[in-house]
Structure formats: structure tokens, C-alpha cells
Chains A and B, each alone.
Chain A
Amino acid sequence: MAWDRNQMAARAALELEDGMYVNLGIGIPTLVANYVGDKDITLQSENGMLGMGPFPFEGEEDPDLINAGKQTITELPRTAYFDSATSFAMIRGGKIAAAILGGMEVSEEGDLANWMVPGKLVKGMGGAMDLVAGVGRVIVVMDHTSKHGDSKVLKACTLPLTGKGVVDRIITNLGVLDVVPGGLKIVECADGVTEAELRAATEATIVG
């Protein structure tokens, strides 16, 4: 037993509080929007929008209105548009309370790798490096291990970094860990996962 994608997204949504301005990455982080419930959250899309709405109804797609994943979306009564320099000014300037991002690897010092696999995947970092450097709190949502069973929660990342010492909290299919001095601290285990199982799947140092 462990959390599935939707359960991880639902757990990540618990990190969000009323009044927050939040940036959600592509993949599982996008699903977090489905679980915010009645909380008053304003979603930022780094291509130049605050107050991102749901997908449009069929036939109402607008080519001038997309999110950072290039998907057609809608606006809300609170929506504001701005240019890319202004968008990253608010990101770099610490105005965005939190970013929930996907990850390939996270280290016990809070390093994040999520943009490049040398020789295989060379798509680019997009806005990820700016987000992890600038937002108030960085929460990474990812599978705890690779398809081959190797831990992705490591003593040191093997892939090129997106940011160094930037991650605050990791939410995986096996549980929740915080980056603290000296290593990672277990916050909770996923449903049906024991602490021993979580520790066994983690290469990084676990403290406390």
C-alpha cells in the first residue's frame, strides 16, 4: 500500500492555506488544484497570469489563454495578466508563497534535480530554477523510487541540479519528509506504509 497520484496531490493540497498565491508545476502538482476545496488559493501561471481557472468548455478554447504547460485554460473574476519579466519579478521577489513541483531526485540537503537527464532528456529548465530560487516554500511531489526500485531521495543528487538547498518538504507515494539540519525528518508515512518501509526506500540520512 502507498499513495497513488491523486492521494499524493490531495496530501500536497493540505500544505496550502487560505490567501496563498501558489505556483503548481506540471504533472502530479497540477492535480493539486482539484483538492484545495473551499480554501481561497490564487494560482500563478508563470507565462503571465494570476488567478488561473479550470479548462474551458469544449468550443470555448482561446489560443490567447494558456497555462505554463501550454494547455488551454480559463480566467476567473480575480484574474490579472502581465508580461514574463513581471511574472518572474514576483517569483524571484518572494511574492509567491509556495511552489509545488515534480522531481526526479531530491537530496538530504534539499537539492532538487528535475530538468535534465544528460544524453537523454534535454528539454530545458523552463521556469523551475527561478521558482525554486524565489518562492517562499518549495514542496516536491514525486515517486519515492524509480521504476527499478532505486531511491530518488538521496544523500546527493546524481542529475544536474535545478536548485541547491531549495526544497522544504518532499511528498512521495510513501510519505512526507522535511529537509532539516543534518538530513531528512519523517513527517508522516503514507497509508499502509510503515516507518521501516519508508526508511528502507530512502537513501538519504534520516534524522530524529
Chain B
Amino acid sequence: MQKIYGSAAEALEGLLFDGMTIAAGGFGLCGIPELLIAAIRDAGTKNLTVASNNAGVDGFGLGQLLETRQVRKMISSYVGENAEFMRQYLSGELELEFNPQGTLAERMRAGGAGIPGFYTKTGVGTVIAEGKEHKDFNGQTYILETGLVMDLAIVKAWKADETGNLVFRKTSRNFNPPAATCGKVCVVEVEEIVPAGSLDPDHIHLPGIYVHRLIQGQHEKRIEQRTTRKRQEA
């Protein structure tokens, strides 16, 4: 069970093909698999469908795959930070499927858990509900949403042990665990790989069964909105 690879490119070897579907973890630029995204850019894989809460910013994160026109369709809840995205979307070059954020997270979780569909109140009475099955439970109306199963999941975690057990750090966990579970193959990049036995088994956030390939690397971890308070205000 050798899961550790030498680089992002090596870890993606044999997994990429034109027209594939990819789930990516991250929220904004926090906890994004930046090394794997860059490797997919370098590989030049085209006509991608990418499920990710956001679409990066111009020049960083998934924004890099938009600049190279490798993405055909995004499944996202919020894309406001990316001017190139808006340009491609408004000109019809890029397809966009808006999912409410919780619906997107649950679609990934459900897909990874073998649940092909689920009913939710979210979006009832809005454009999101158009064309979807409606069903009443206990006097309330719900709509049917489908689980997502993607060809590949790309995920960023803080630490992994050699067997792929993962620990995330603070709010960089976000979409990474549900994204990881919904990939037929899951490739994970971490800041540090530690020997098996050095993580507390009670503190594993995502068990290694979901992790197929693993790399360690240097992360830029760019901050999108740097907000601070002055010390004298404290």
C-alpha cells in the first residue's frame, strides 16, 4: 500500500483525461489543493467539469485552469472573486451550474456515501428547484438533489500519516473531506507526511481509506481578504 508520490505530476500520472469530472476542496483560497491544480494546468487536460465551492481568483487556484480554458463547466455556489470567470461565463464559453453551498457539500457527501439522491428544503420556490422532483414530508415541501460521484477528487490537508489518514487545520477543512469522499480516485496534498502511529487515531479527521495518492509540498496559502485590528483597540 504505497500511497506517497514524489510530486503532484507523478501523483496524477494516469488519472487525467479530457472531459473528466473533478471535485476540488477549498473555500475561497483557503485549503485549496494548489499544487494539484497547478499540475493539472501543466498537464493541459481539457473539457473539465469541476465541482468546487468557488472558482479561485484570477491567476491563482482554479483561476489558473480558467485562464488556460481547460474548464468547460463549473459546479459552484459563489464565483464573485474571479473576473476571468465572469467574462467567460457571460460570453457563453463556460458553463456554470449554481448549487446552494450546503446542497453542493451534501451532494459530495452523499455521492461518497453511496446515496444517489436526497431531499432538501434548500431552494424550494427558487430557480434552483425548477425541473426537480418535489415531495412533501410532514407538510413541508422538499426537492430532490443528486449525489455527486466524480472521476477525481483533489484535496488539501494539513498532515497525513503514511497510510493517508488526514488531519486538517482550522477552517481549511471546509469542502475537503466531502470532496475527498466523492472521488473515484482521491489525490491529497499535505504540508507534512508523518510516520504511521504518530497521529492520535482519535483525532483523525478523514480516514486513509478515502485517500489513494499522497504528496507533501510547499504551499503558498494566499490570503484573499487580509483583515486585522490594531493592538491599541484591544
- When the two chains form their complex, are residues A55 and B228 in contact, meaning their CB atoms are under 8 A apart? yes
| CB-defined contacts of A60 to chain B, threshold 8 Å | 228
| CB-defined contacts of B98 to chain A, threshold 8 Å | 124-125
- When the two chains form their complex, are residues A57 and B231 in contact, meaning their CB atoms are under 8 A apart? yes
Interface size on A, residues (CB 8 A): 54
| 8 Å CB contact of B128 from A45, A111, A123, A129 | A129
B6 to chain A, nearest CB (A): 25
Beta-carbon nearest neighbor of A128 in chain B: B100
- When the two chains form their complex, are residues A124 and B229 in contact, meaning their CB atoms are under 8 A apart? no
Give bound CA distance, A177 to B8, whole Å: 55
Q: Could you say which of A61, A125, A134 has the most chain B C-beta atoms within 10 Å of its C-beta?
A: A125
- When the two chains form their complex, are residues B30 and A81 in contact, meaning their CB atoms are under 8 A apart? no
A87 to chain B, nearest CB (A): 7
Q: Using a CB-CB cutoff of 8 Å, which residues 87-146 of chain A contact chain B?
A: 87-89, 91-92, 111, 122-130, 133-134
Q: Using a CB-CB cutoff of 8 Å, which residues 179-234 of chain B contact chain A?
A: 205, 221-231, 234
B61 to chain A, nearest CB (A): 12
Interface of chain A, main secondary structure? loop
| CB-defined contacts of A125 to chain B, threshold 8 Å | 77-78, 98, 100-101, 128
B138 within 8 A of A: no
Beta-carbon nearest neighbor of B55 in chain A: A124
Give bound CA distance, A130 to B103, whole Å: 8
- When the two chains form their complex, are residues B178 and A133 in contact, meaning their CB atoms are under 8 A apart? no
Interface size on B, residues (CB 8 A): 59
A65 within 8 A of B: yes
A83 within 8 A of B: yes
Give bound CA distance, A72 to B98, whole Å: 26
- When the two chains form their complex, are residues B27 and A127 in contact, meaning their CB atoms are under 8 A apart? no
B132 within 8 A of A: no
Give bound CA distance, A55 to B231, whole Å: 11
- B 66-87 binary contact with A (CB < 8 Å = 1; else 0): 0000000000111111000010
Supplied contacts A122-B89, A134-B102, 19 more A-B pairs, CB within 8 Å: A47-B28, A47-B171, A47-B174, A56-B228, A66-B224, A70-B30, A83-B178, A84-B175, A87-B105, A88-B102, A111-B125, A124-B98, A125-B98, A129-B102, A129-B128, A130-B100, A133-B121, A133-B122, A134-B121
Residues of chain A at the chain B interface (Cβ within 8 Å)? 45-49, 54-73, 75, 81-85, 87-89, 91-92, 111, 122-130, 133-134, 160-165
